[in-house]
């Protein structure tokens, strides 16, 4: 057995997941109430520890699935947090990931089976350890990423109105967008399919529904996609 590492300090490696969703108006984050010490009863991001036989990506996918039941969604490594005193129990480094999911598709399972709760970003409580810092860094990354790739579309239902799409980008960017300018930019990308169906809940005339063109969506993921708003 190789013993050359025995004299070195032992450090735990945690993986924390920031999970974003969109309710049609607000960008929200999924939190759980911690059921063990330290910080029992306080709100937390979803997390766990790396196992010997896992990569970080494997661990993030496992933690996300075990705590939410969700898998095969967009997820990206964010940052590693290594402040010496970030965890009061033991020396622990955390690598964070952020994920984006469709609330309409997963909400019932998450809330009923995993004791999770969605919080609008404006109403996020004080989180344990350095989780608020993780969240703020993830928000900044999400805003950058949605301007250069179509990942934000993962947050919408399969069929959506242009108004819903604009609401999404306004929620992510936290600013109001000019309607005409937004529609022109989206149309110029040629990634939407306009349907004959209408959403009749918004007005008497209704609003046309759209879907993403899967082939063009995949192409935009690998090539150029730039939405400057």
Flag whether pLDDT at 12 surpasses 90. yes
Query: Is residue 76 located within the same domain as residue 95?
Result: yes
Q: How many domains does the chain have?
A: 2
Q: What pLDDT, on a 0 to 100 scale, did the predictor assign at position 220?
A: 64
d(CA 85, CA 48): 18
Answer yes or no: is 172 within a domain.
Answer: yes
Maximum average pLDDT range among 67-76, 89-98, 111-120, 152-161: 89-98
Query: Is residue 33 located within the same domain as residue 114?
Result: yes
Flag whether pLDDT at 224 surpasses 70. no
Query: Is residue 24 located within the same domain as residue 104?
Result: yes
Q: Which domain holds residue 188?
A: 156-222
Q: What pLDDT, on a 0 to 100 scale, did the predictor assign at position 215?
A: 81
Flag whether pLDDT at 88 surpasses 90. yes
pTM for the full model? Answer: 0.88
Question: 75-102: buried (b, 16+ CB within 10 Å) or exposed (e) per residue?
Answer: beebeebeeeebbeeeebbbbbbbbbbb
Query: Is residue 136 located within the same domain as residue 33?
Result: yes
Which CATH number belongs to the domain containing residue 204 in this structure? 1.10.10.10
Q: What pLDDT, on a 0 to 100 scale, did the predictor assign at position 200?
A: 85
Of residues 125 and 36, more confidence is placed in 125
Last residue of a domain, one of 109, 124, 147: 147
Last residue of a domain, one of 130, 147, 164: 147
Q: What pLDDT, on a 0 to 100 scale, did the predictor assign at position 112?
A: 59
Q: To the nearest whole percent, how much of the chain has pLDDT over 70? A: 91
| Average per-residue pLDDT for the chain | 88
Answer yes or no: is 6 within a domain.
Answer: no
Q: State pLDDT tens for residues 20-35.
A: 999 888 999 999 988 8
Q: What pLDDT, on a 0 to 100 scale, did the predictor assign at position 53?
A: 96
Q: What pLDDT, on a 0 to 100 scale, did the predictor assign at position 108?
A: 61
Answer yes or no: is 1 within a domain.
Answer: no
Flag whether pLDDT at 105 surpasses 90. no
Query: Is residue 162 located within the same domain as residue 117?
Result: no
Q: Write the CB contacts of 108 (distance below 8 Å, at least 6 apart in sequence).
A: none
Flag whether pLDDT at 1 surpasses 60. no
Query: Is residue 143 located within the same domain as residue 193?
Result: no
Query: Is residue 170 located within the same domain as residue 135?
Result: no
Query: Is residue 175 located within the same domain as residue 134?
Result: no
User: For residue 221, what pLDDT band results from cuts at 50, 70 and 90?
Assistant: low
């Amino acid at each position: 057995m190789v013993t050359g590492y025995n004299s070195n300090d032992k450090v735990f490696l945690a993986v924390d997941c920031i999970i974003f969703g969109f309710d049609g108006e607000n960008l929200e984050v999924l939190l759980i109430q911690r059921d063990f010490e330290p910080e029992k009863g306080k709100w937390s991001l979803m997390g766990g520890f790396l196992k010997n036989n896992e990569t970080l990506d494997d661990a993030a996918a496992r933690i996300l699935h075990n705590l939410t039941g969700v898998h095969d969604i967009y997820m990206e490594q964010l940052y590693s947090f290594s402040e010496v005193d970030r965890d009061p129990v033991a020396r622990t480094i955390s690598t964070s990931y952020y994920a984006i999911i469709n609330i309409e598709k997963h909400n019932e399972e998450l809330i009923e089976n995993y004791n999770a709760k969605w919080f609008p970003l404006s109403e996020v409580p004080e989180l344990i350890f350095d989780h608020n810092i993780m969240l703020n860094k993830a928000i900044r990354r999400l805003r950058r990423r949605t301007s250069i790739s179509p990942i934000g579309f993962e947050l919408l239902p399969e069929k959506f109105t242009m108004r819903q799409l604009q609401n999404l980008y306004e929620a992510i960017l936290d600013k109001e967008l000019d309607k005409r300018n937004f529609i022109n930019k989206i149309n110029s990308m040629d990634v939407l399919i306009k349907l004959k169906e209408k959403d009749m809940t918004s007005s008497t005339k209704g609003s046309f529904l759209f879907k993403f063109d899967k082939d063009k969506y995949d192409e935009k993921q690998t090539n150029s996609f730039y939405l400057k708003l």
